[in-house]
Amino acid sequence: MTLVYIILILMFGGLISWIIAGKNSSLAKGIALLAVLADLVIIIGFWISVYDKFDLGSQQWLIDYRVEWMPQLGISFHLAMDGLSLLMTALALFLGAVSLIVSWNEISKNLGFYLFNALWLIAGIIGVFLSLDLILFYFFWEVMLVPMYFILAIWGHENRRYAGMKFFLFTQLSGLLMLIAIIALYFIHGKNSGQYTFDYFALIGTSLSAKTGLWLMCGFMIAFLVKLGIVPFHSWLPDAYTQSPTGGSILLAALMSKTAAYGMLRFVVPLFPEASKTFAPVAITLGVVSILYGAKLAYAQTDLKRMIAFSSMSHMGFIMVGIFSFQALSYQGTIIEMIAHGISITALFTVAGVIHARIQTRDMDQMGRFWEQVPKMGAITMIFVLATLGLPGLGNFVAEFLILTGAFKSNVTLTVLAALGLIASMIYALVILQKIFHGERRKEWKLTDLTPREVLAMGCLIVAIVWIGIYPQPVIKTAQPTVNSLEQNSNNTTFVNDTGPTNKMTLKNGDENMTMTRETSTFFLSLNKKGGGK
Amino acid sequence: MISLTGLNLILPQLIIALAAIIVMLSIAVKRCHRFTNLFTLLSFAAAAISVLYIPRGSFGVSSLFVVDGFGKFFTVLIACAGFVITLMSYHYLNAREKRNEEYYILLLLSSLGALTMVISNHFVSFFLSLEVLSVSLYALIGYLKEEPAGIESGIKYLVLAAVSSSFLLFGIALIYMQTGHLDLSGIAAGLSSSGEFSGVFIAGLAMVIVGIGFKMALVPFHLWTPDIYAGASAPVSAFVATVSKGAVFAFLLRLFYSTGGLENKNVWTVFTIIAVASMLFGNWLALRQQNIKRLLAYSSIGHLGYLMVAFLAITDRGMQAATFYLVVYFTGMLAAFGTVIYMSNKKGEALYIDDYRGLFWKKPWLAAIFTTVMLSLAGIPLTAGFLGKLYLLTAGTEVGIWLLVIVLVVSSGIGLFYYLRVVAVMFAGKNENEASSEPVIGKIFPHGLVLTLLFLLLLWFGVYPSSLLEIIQQIASVIR
Amino acid sequence: MPVNYYIFLSLALFAIGIVGVLIRRNAITFFMCIEIMLNAVNLLLVAFSKMHHAKQAATLATAGIDGQIFVFFIMVVAAAEVSVGLAIIVMLFRNVHSVNVNFLNRLKH
C-alpha cells in the first residue's frame, strides 16, 4: 500500500493546492512542497529500513502490490518496487521538490493549476517507475503527458504552443505504437499460455519468434527513443526543453527522459532479450550519434536553454550505449548516469531560469562577465558545468566511466567514438562558463546574486552530485539486485516460464554475483582514490 | 403472431410511442413547455427503467423484432441519450424559439425510430424504424424557424436521406431476390444453403452499405454531415451524432453478424476501405475547421471509422469493443455538444473555436469538463476515450488486422492536433471579444448538472470501468 | 415474362431518378425523382415476390408475400416523407421566395 500512498499523496496534494491557491498562494505552494517532501521522507525512510536487504541479490522485489483492476481484460493494478525503482522514485521526488523550490516565484499566473499539474506530473512519473502491469505503465506514461503539455503550453516562453503541440504529438504517437506492441505481446502470451494478462511477471517469459520479437521491441523502443530524445526522434526535444518554464524544463529533462531509460531497462531488455541483442548495434550507434551530434549542436547554440537541451541529448546517448552493452558495469553506469544527469541538468536549467528571470533573455551573446556581479551563481554554475563535462569526483564522471568501461567489452569501435563525446562535452560545457561568466561584457545588466532559497536548492544538488561522485556505493548496492537480474536475463536468453516476484537465483549464481559486486566496488574505491588524487 | 404477453418485451418502445401521442394531445389542450419537457424526461426515464422488467434471454416478437441483451443495452443507451438531450434542450429552446412543444414530439418519435431499430430483426422493421427516425429528423433539423441555415440543412438532409433510403431499398430488393427472405435469420439460412455469394447478392449488400453508410456518415457518404451539424440546432446535432448513428450501427452489427455477410472477402474489403477512409478523412478534414460543430462532425466521422475496426474484427471481443466504444462516444459527444449549448446565447450558438478563447480563466469548471471531453475524444488516459481505444486496438490486434490498427493509430495522431487546438484555445489568453460577456444559455440547473454528470461518467469509465465491462461482456456475445 | 425485364426496367427508372437528383436544382423535382426511385424499388419487390411465389407455391402458399407487404410500407413511408418534405419546402419558400436549391449556400463554411 505504501506505493499507492506515495502516488495518492501527490495527487491529493495537487488537488488541494489547486483549490487553495485562489485564496492563499503561499500556503498552496507550501502544501505542494510538503506533499513532495512527505513522500521523499517516506521513501528515504523505506530505503534506510531495507538497505541491508540489498546484500547480494536475495530478492529483487521489495514491495509487490497487486489488485484486480479490470479483470475482464486481464488488467491489474500492479505496483512493485525494486532497487532501481526505489532509486528512481527517490530521484523523482528529490528533483520534484527542487523544481518546486526554484520556481517558487516564477509562476504567478494561475499558480494553483500549475502546482496541480506539477504534482500530477511527478505522480505520473513515479507511477511509471512503479507499475508492473503493462497497461498501467502505459496509463501512467500518458498521464504524465497531459500535465506536461499544460505546463509547457500555458506557462512556457514565447513559442510555447508550437512546442507543446510538437511535444505532445511526438510522445503520444510513439506511445500508441508502444500500446500496439503491448497488446500484441498480450495476445501472443495469451495464445501460448491460455492466460490473458498484461502482468509483467507473466509476460516476461513469453517466447517470441525472432521476427515478432524484433517488431514488438521496436514498438516499445520507438516510444522510449522519442522520449529519450535520441537522434532521429529528437526534433521535439530542443523546442520543448527550451520553451518550458524552469520548473517544467527540470521535470522534463531530469525526470521524464529518465522514464524512457527506465522503460528500456525494465521492459525492453527483460521482455525481448534476443531482439534487444539483435538491435544492440543499431542502438549503440544511435547512442553514439546522439552523443556526438548533440555535443556538436550544443556547441552551436546561442540560446542558453537550447544549449543545455542539446547537452542533455548528448548525455542520453551515453544511457543508450550503457543499456545496450549488456554488461553489469554499464548497467550500473547507466543507473548512476540517470541520477547524476538528472541532478546536473536540474542545476543547469535552474541557472538558466535564474538568469532568465533577472535579465529576460536566454541569448548568451548578450551575456558576459557575470562572475564579477554574481560570484555565488558563477561558482555554483562552475561546479555543474564541470559535472557535465565529466570531472572526476562528480557524479557524471563515475557514470560515464562505468558505461564506457562496460561498453568497451562489447564494442570497441563505437566505445571509442562515444568516448570522444567526453571531449566534445568539455568544449560546449566550458563555453557556457566562458560566455556567461567570463569573456567581455556585452551589455550592462543589473544582476542580483542568488537568493537564499535558490542557494538552498542548489546546495542540495551540490551535495547530491558530490556524494554520487565520491561515494556511489549506496546507489550501486541498491541497484545491484536489479542489475544482476538484468544481466542474468541477457546472458541467459531461454527462460523459465514462471518468473515470479522472487528472483530465482541458484546459490551458485548468487556466489558469482557476490564476486561481481565485490569486483565492482573495489574497482570503484580504487577509481575514487585516483580521482581524488588528481 | 404477436400476443399480449409479448408486449412487455417491447415495453420501452411502447412507452416512447405512447409518450409521443400524449405530448401531441397535450399540446392540443394547452401549451406548456415546462410540462412537455418534464413529461418527455419522465418517459425517457421510464423507457430506460422498463428494460429491467424484460426477462432475460433472447425472444422474438413476431418475426420483426428480437429482444435480446444487445437490444436491451442499446435501448437503455438511447433512452439515456434522449433523456440528456431533452434536459439540455429546455433552456436552449426557451431562448431561441417561441413554440417548443412540437420539438418534443419529434424528439420522441425519432427516438422511437432508433429504439425499434436496435431490436429490428427484419428489413421491414428496419426500414420503418429508419424512416420514423429520419422523417422526424428532417423536421427537427429545420426546427428553428428563425434560422435559415437550419431550414437549408433540413432540406439537404431530406434529399440526401431519401436518396440513400432508395439505395437501401434497392439493395434490400436485390437481397430479397437472391434469398427470398426479408428477415435476417431467413437471409442467413438462404445464404448458407446457396453457399457462394452471387453477384446480385453482393450488389444488394453494396447498396445496403450505401444506405447504412450514409446514415452513419462514413466516408465517402459523409458529405452531408458537417453541413447538417452546423445548420441544425446544437441539441439536434447531438441527437444526430449519437442516437441516430448509434442505432444504425447497432443494426449494422446485427445485420452482418447474424447473416455472416462479412465472411465474404469482397464485402470485408469494401468495409475496410470505408473504415480506413473514414478514419483518415474524418480526422484530416477536421484539422482545418474553425467551426466547432463542423469540427465535431468530422471528428464523429473519424470515430465511426474507429468503430468499424471493431466491427471488422468479427469476434466477441470486437462486439464488446464496439459496444464499449459506442458508450464512450455517446458520452463524449453529448458532453461536447452540451458545452456548445451551454456557451450559446440568445443570438446564436458559440460556433467558433475563438468563442472559447480563455474559457479556462472565466469558467474553469466548464473548461475543465470540455478539456476532459476533448481528451476523451482524443483517447488520452484517465478518460473513457483511452480505454475505448485500447479495447478497439485489442480487438483489432487479436485478429491481426494490422492495416486497420495502424490507420487507427495514425488517425488518432492526426486527431490530437485539432482536439489539442481546442484545448489550447481554452487555456490561451483572455478573450477581448465583447459578445462573450453576454448571458449564456447554460444554467447550473439542469445544464451544469448534466454536464458534470457526463464528465464524471467519462472519468468513471476511464478509471474503473469494470462494472460496465461486465455488462457488456454479458450481452455482447449474444448476437451470433 | 422473365424477371430480368423487371430488373432492367426498374434499374432504368432508378437511374433516371438518380440523374434527376443530380442535375436538377428544383426542390419539387427532387421529390419527384425520389418518388421515381422508390417506385422502381416497388416494382422490383413485386416482381421478386411473384418470382418467389411461383417457385415455392407448391410447398408454401404464402411464399413471397412479404415482398408485396413491404411495398405497401414503402408507399406509406414515401407519402410521409413527401409531406414533411413539402412542409419544409414551404418554409424555404417563405424565406427565400423560391424553391430553387441554388439559394442554399449559407452552409459553405
Contact (CB, 8 A) for A226 and A236: yes
Question: Is the Cβ of B393 closer than 8 Å to some Cβ of chain A?
Answer: yes
User: Would A381 be classed as within a structural domain?
Assistant: yes
Chains A and C touch (3+ CB pairs under 8 A): no
Count CB atoms within 10 A of the CB of residue B403. 13
Contact (CB, 8 A) for A60 and A50: no
From B428, B297, B285, select the one nearest B351 (Cα to Cα).
Answer: B297
User: Would B46 be classed as within a structural domain?
Assistant: no
Question: Is the Cβ of B397 closer than 8 Å to some Cβ of chain A?
Answer: yes
- CA nearest to B231 within chain C: C107
- What are the Cα distances from residue A334, in Å, to A84, A102, B39, B413? 11, 27, 68, 32
Count CB atoms within 10 A of the CB of residue C40. 25
Contact (CB, 8 A) for B301 and B218: yes
Question: For residue B227, which residues of chain C lie inside 8 Å, CB to CB?
Answer: 107
Asked if C88 lies within 8 A of B148 by C-beta distance, the reply is no
Contact (CB, 8 A) for B15 and B2: no
Chains B and C touch (3+ CB pairs under 8 A): yes
Asked if A143 lies within 8 A of B381 by C-beta distance, the reply is yes
Best to test chain B binding among C107, C108, C109 (most B CBs inside 10 Å): C107
Asked if B139 lies within 8 A of C88 by C-beta distance, the reply is yes
Q: Which residues are within 8 A (CB) of B19 and not within 5 positions of it... i.e. 6 or more apart?
A: B39, B40, B43, B108
pLDDT at position B180 is 86
pLDDT tens for chain A, 534 residues long, are 788 999 999 999 999 998 888 788 889 999 999 999 999 999 999 999 888 877 665 677 888 899 988 888 889 999 999 889 999 999 999 999 999 998 888 887 788 889 999 999 999 999 999 999 999 999 999 888 889 998 988 888 888 888 988 898 888 889 989 999 999 999 999 888 888 899 998 888 788 888 899 999 999 999 999 999 888 888 899 899 999 998 899 999 999 999 999 999 999 998 998 898 899 999 999 999 999 999 999 988 888 899 999 999 999 999 999 999 888 888 999 999 999 999 999 999 999 988 888 888 888 888 888 888 888 888 999 999 998 888 888 888 889 899 999 898 888 888 898 888 888 888 888 888 888 888 888 777 888 888 888 899 999 999 999 999 999 888 988 888 888 888 887 766 543 333 434 343 333 344 444 444 444 544 554 444 444 333
Widest distance between CA atoms in chain C: 61
Residue A183's identity, in one-letter code, is I
Question: Is the Cβ of C91 closer than 8 Å to some Cβ of chain B?
Answer: yes
Question: For residue A150, which residues of chain B lie inside 8 Å, CB to CB?
Answer: 427
User: Would A489 be classed as within a structural domain?
Assistant: no
- CA nearest to A184 within chain B: B397
pLDDT at position A72 is 84
> Tens digits of per-residue pLDDT, B431-460?
555 455 555 676 777 888 999 999 999 999
- B282 vs B271: CA distance, rounded Å: 16
pLDDT at position C106 is 61
From A293, A475, A284, A455, select the one nearest A378 (Cα to Cα).
Answer: A455
Nearest to A146 among B361, B375, B464 (CB): B375
How many domains does the structure of chain B reveal? Answer: 1
- C84 vs B2: CA distance, rounded Å: 31
User: Would A488 be classed as within a structural domain?
Assistant: no
From B257, B270, B263, select the one nearest B209 (Cα to Cα).
Answer: B270
Count CB atoms within 10 A of the CB of residue A149. 26
- A251 vs A345: CA distance, rounded Å: 10
How many domains does the structure of chain A reveal? Answer: 1
From B314, B307, B203, B308, select the one nearest B258 (Cα to Cα).
Answer: B314
DSSP state of A71: G
Query: Which domain covers residue B318, as residue numbers?
Result: 278-480
Q: Which residues are within 8 A (CB) of A284 and not within 5 positions of it... i.e. 6 or more apart?
A: A320, A321, A324, A325, A407, A410, A411, A414, A418
Q: Which residues are within 8 A (CB) of C8 and not within 5 positions of it... i.e. 6 or more apart?
A: none
Contact (CB, 8 A) for B392 and B321: yes
User: Would A534 be classed as within a structural domain?
Assistant: no
User: Would C11 be classed as within a structural domain?
Assistant: yes
Query: Which domain covers residue C37, as residue numbers?
Result: 3-96
User: Would B135 be classed as within a structural domain?
Assistant: no
pLDDT at position A389 is 85
Residue B16, min C-alpha distance to chain C (Å)? 20
User: Could you tell me where the DSSP H helices lie in A144-263?
Assistant: 145-155, 160-193, 200-203, 210-228, 236-243, 246-250, 257-263
Question: Is the Cβ of B469 closer than 8 Å to some Cβ of chain A?
Answer: yes
pLDDT at position B150 is 84
Query: Which domain covers residue A55, as residue numbers?
Result: 2-482+501-529
DSSP assignment of A474-518 equals HHHHHHHHHHHHHHHHHH--S--S---SS----HHHHHHHHHHHH
pLDDT at position A302 is 87
Instruction: Find the chain B residues whose C-beta atoms sit closer than 8 A to any C-beta of C.
Output: 123-124, 127-128, 131, 134-135, 138-139, 142, 145, 148-149, 151-156, 158-159, 162-163, 166, 169-170, 172-174, 176-177, 180-183, 227, 230-231, 291, 294
- A427 vs A295: CA distance, rounded Å: 9
- B475 vs B456: CA distance, rounded Å: 24
Q: Which three cell numbers stand for residue A140?
A: 501512467
- B355 vs B342: CA distance, rounded Å: 12
pLDDT at position A525 is 45
Residue C101, min C-alpha distance to chain B (Å)? 9
- C102 vs C30: CA distance, rounded Å: 13
Residue C30, min C-alpha distance to chain B (Å)? 7
- A471 vs A398: CA distance, rounded Å: 10
Nearest to C88 among B127, B142, B230 (CB): B142
User: Would A492 be classed as within a structural domain?
Assistant: no
Contact (CB, 8 A) for A406 and A330: yes
User: Would A496 be classed as within a structural domain?
Assistant: no
Those residues of chain B that have pLDDT short of 50 are 1, 434
User: Would C109 be classed as within a structural domain?
Assistant: no
- CA nearest to B364 within chain A: A113
pLDDT at position A515 is 42
User: Would B364 be classed as within a structural domain?
Assistant: yes
How many domains does the structure of chain C reveal? Answer: 1
Give the chains touching C; criterion: ≥3 Cβ pairs < 8 Å.
B
Q: 3-state SS of chain B: helix, strand, coil percent to 5? A: 80, 5, 20
Nearest to A153 among B405, B409, B424 (CB): B424
> Tens digits of per-residue pLDDT, B135-179?
999 999 988 887 878 888 888 899 899 999 999 999 999 999 888
pTM of the model: 0.88
Question: For residue B176, which residues of chain C lie inside 8 Å, CB to CB?
Answer: 45, 48-49, 67, 70
What is the number of residues in chain B? 480
From B101, B109, B94, select the one nearest B36 (Cα to Cα).
Answer: B101
Asked if B170 lies within 8 A of C44 by C-beta distance, the reply is yes
Question: Is the Cβ of A159 closer than 8 Å to some Cβ of chain B?
Answer: no
Q: 3-state SS of chain C: helix, strand, coil percent to 5? A: 80, 0, 20
Q: Which residues are within 8 A (CB) of C18 and not within 5 positions of it... i.e. 6 or more apart?
A: B163, C33, C37
Is the per-residue pLDDT at C93 higher than 90? no
Nearest to C84 among B139, B153, B166 (CB): B139
From A483, A85, A494, A501, select the one nearest A273 (Cα to Cα).
Answer: A494
CATH number at residue C61: 1.10.287.3510
Three-class secondary structure of residue A362 per DSSP: coil
- A252 vs A244: CA distance, rounded Å: 9
Three-class secondary structure of residue B205 per DSSP: helix
> Tens digits of per-residue pLDDT, A460-507?
999 999 999 999 888 988 888 888 888 887 766 543 333 434 343 333
Cell 554574481 sits on residue: A374
Contact (CB, 8 A) for A398 and A472: yes
Share of chain C above pLDDT 90, in %: 46
User: Would C103 be classed as within a structural domain?
Assistant: no
User: Would B415 be classed as within a structural domain?
Assistant: yes
User: Would C78 be classed as within a structural domain?
Assistant: yes
Q: Which three cell numbers stand for residue B314?
A: 468479427
From A199, A200, A198, A252, select the one nearest A226 (Cα to Cα).
Answer: A252
pLDDT at position B386 is 92
Question: Is the Cβ of B434 closer than 8 Å to some Cβ of chain A?
Answer: no
Count CB atoms within 10 A of the CB of residue A153. 23
> Tens digits of per-residue pLDDT, B59-96?
888 888 999 888 999 999 999 999 999 999 998 888 88
Q: Which residues are within 8 A (CB) of B37 and not within 5 positions of it... i.e. 6 or more apart?
A: B86, B89, B90, B104
- What are the Cα distances from residue A408, in Å, to A200, A243, A310, A411? 31, 37, 25, 5
Q: Which three cell numbers stand for residue B191?
A: 445464404
Q: Which residues are within 8 A (CB) of A121 and not within 5 positions of it... i.e. 6 or more apart?
A: A144, A147, A148, A151, A251, A256
Asked if C81 lies within 8 A of B135 by C-beta distance, the reply is yes
